[in-house]
Amino acid sequence: MITEEKLTELAEEARKAADKAYAPYSNFRVGAALLCEDGSIVTGVNVENRSYGLTICAERNAITTAITQGKCCFLALALSTPDSSTPVGPCGACRQVLSEFMSPNSPVRFGGNSTETIDTTIGELLPLDSLHDLKK
C-alpha cells in the first residue's frame, strides 16, 4: 500500500521535474515521478519537438530513464502540469506504456497549478487492458 505521504512526495518531485521540461512550442510543461519497486524515485519531463509527433512525454521519459538504470517495476506515478489550471492525466500512448510496467491497481496522482489533484489507478486509466488478461 502506498501511503499518502509517499504520494505527496511523488507529486512534489513531479512538480520540481516539470520546471526542467523543454516545451517551447506549447508552453505546457509536464513532470512525472515514478516510484520504483526498490523505493527510489525516477523523474522525467516532456521534451517537445517542432514536429509534435516526435515529442517525448514525461511519463515515457521517466520510464525509459528508469529502465536504463536497471529498474522495470513501478509502484506509483505522479504527474504535474503546472501550466494548467486543472489536473491533466496521461495521454493514451502513455497509458498503454504505463500498463506494460505497472499493475492495474498502481496509484496515479496528477495535478495542475492549483491544489486540486486527481487520484486514480492504472486500471482506471486503461480499463479492460488485454495485456494483464494475457498474463493470467
Domain residue ranges of the chain, discontinuous segments joined by +: 4-134
- pLDDT of amino acid 54: 93
- pLDDT of amino acid 104: 93
Catalytic residue among 4, 37, 59, 124: 59
Query: How big is the chain, counted in residues?
Result: 136
Q: Tell me: domain 4-134, CATH 1.10.10.10, correct?
A: no
Q: Would strands 74-80 and 31-36 be described as parallel, antiparallel, or unpaired? A: antiparallel
Q: Please check whether residue 6 is in contact with residue 74, taking contact to mean a CB–CB distance below 8 angstroms.
A: no
- pLDDT of amino acid 52: 86
- pLDDT of amino acid 128: 78
Compute CA 95 distance to the chain's CA centroid, rounded to the nearest angstrom. Answer: 9
- pLDDT of amino acid 131: 65
The x, y and z cell numbers of residue 32, run together, are: 512525472
Statement: the pTM of the whole predicted model exceeds 0.85:
yes
Q: What is the mean pLDDT of each run of 10 residues along the chain (136 residues)?
A: 94 98 97 97 97 94 98 97 96 94 96 94 87 60
Q: Which letter does DSSP use for residue 52 in this model?
A: G
Identify whether 13 is a catalytic site residue.
Answer: no
Residue 101's H or E segment, with its range, is: helix 92-101
